[in-house]
Amino acid sequence: MTSSGTAQGVWDPEAAFAAMATSPDVLLSDVYNELLEQEAVTRVGSPDGMWGIFTYADVVKVAGDYKTFSSVTPRPGAGRVLPLECDPPEHAQYRRMMNPSFAPAKIAEAELDVRPFAAAMLDEMIAAGEADFGATFAYEFPIRALCKFMRIPEDSWTEIRNWHHRLVYEGDQNEPGRPKRDEMVAEFVPYMMAIVGQRRATPGDDVVTAIINGEVDGEPLDDIAIVGLMIALFMAGFTTTTGAIGNLVLRVAHDSELQAFLRANPDRVADAVEESLRLDSTQQTMHRICTTDTELGGQRISAGDYISLHFGSANVDERRWSNAATFDLDRKDKHQHLAFGRGVHKCYGAPLARMEMRVVLEELLARTDSFAISGPMRRLTWPAQKIETLPLSFVPRGS
């Protein structure tokens, strides 16, 4: 077994990421460098596991070729997660109903809603002098922001957070068929159905109303399909944004020079957001299925084989990025990262996530003279990288 977790042509992500779970000094480049040096396309987890794709060029190629590498990958006995598990032209119909809700004017409107309670939540933490940023903020702010964005009642966010927490930590991700997880999803359907009923009665200018009014193949969606899209939006918009905010704050808390520079130059926070998205990517992998025999990275991929696209690896590939492991605010091409995917499935919620990350860091820097890691941290690393525990100490601005 090498430092990258690769042995006998099989890559073991749990072994590769082990040191990263508790050390802010271990970077994605440390995890992936050996695989990238080999330009490896290799099995993941076991000799008959899915094929891992790691280089930037290969990930972009696979993500852009939906005919050869399909996104229709539902688990046996389970329905598809839409729009994630569909291909064009069907996919475009879902995107058309969702995309207008994430237009720049909508995101600017959402920022006016979320900035005040971001500031209030941070003020409470800073006043205490020390807090676990993960439990106190990163796992709460994004769900509150998403409720605001979806025009779901403010007092619902704790119920949704608790449901999501149980889904992640009690719904065994490795259980064959994942029936327990499916049961937990089913438990939440009546709550979502009630929101759909309310929104049908009182439509608004929001993403839920857009879904209700949407059509696929000229037919309106039924309530089950609408609820499925809403749950997918919660899962994607909460989990990845929680990770992205935590990863950004971890990096800035761990780098006092970067922190001081951004505090003095708040106009560069947006650049810091992009470099963190590249270097600290939350979602490490997404799946595809090969539809026809093909070759990739010197490996013969058969029809029916599953593919694992490693966005985190692609984002630290030295063939694509000069000094890939360096956090460089002046990097000209940093927006070409794959933290939000590539191709038709590039995340439609990316503008909302970027806004939330920027607002949080702007408000945190403006309210402090410094903040720093004050105890042992821990993060989940696979298949998504996000903090679980991040104790921070704060020096309030002007104290």
Instruction: For residues 83 and 69, give the distance between their C-alpha atoms in angstroms, rounded to a whole number.
Output: 16
Reply yes or no on whether the pLDDT at 249 is more than 60.
yes
What pLDDT sits at residue 174?
A: 46
SS3 312: helix
Distance CA 85, CA 326 (A): 34
The more confidently predicted of residues 171 and 72 is: 72
Mean of pLDDT values over 140-151: 93
| Res. 169: pLDDT tops 90 | no
364 in Cβ contact with 373 (< 8 Å): no
Domains of the chain: 6-396 (1.10.630.10)
pTM of the model: 0.94
Mean pLDDT in residue range 103-131: 97
Which H or E run includes 389?
strand 386-389
Q: pLDDT tens digits for 17-67?
A: 999 999 999 999 999 999 999 988 999 999 999 999 999 999 999 999 999
The amino acid at 75: R
Residue 7 has pLDDT above 60, yes or no: no
Residue 323 CA to residue 318 CA, distance in Å, equals: 7
pLDDT-based confidence at residue 186 (cuts at 50, 70, 90): confident
Distance from C-alpha of 143 to C-alpha of 247, rounded to nearest angstrom: 17
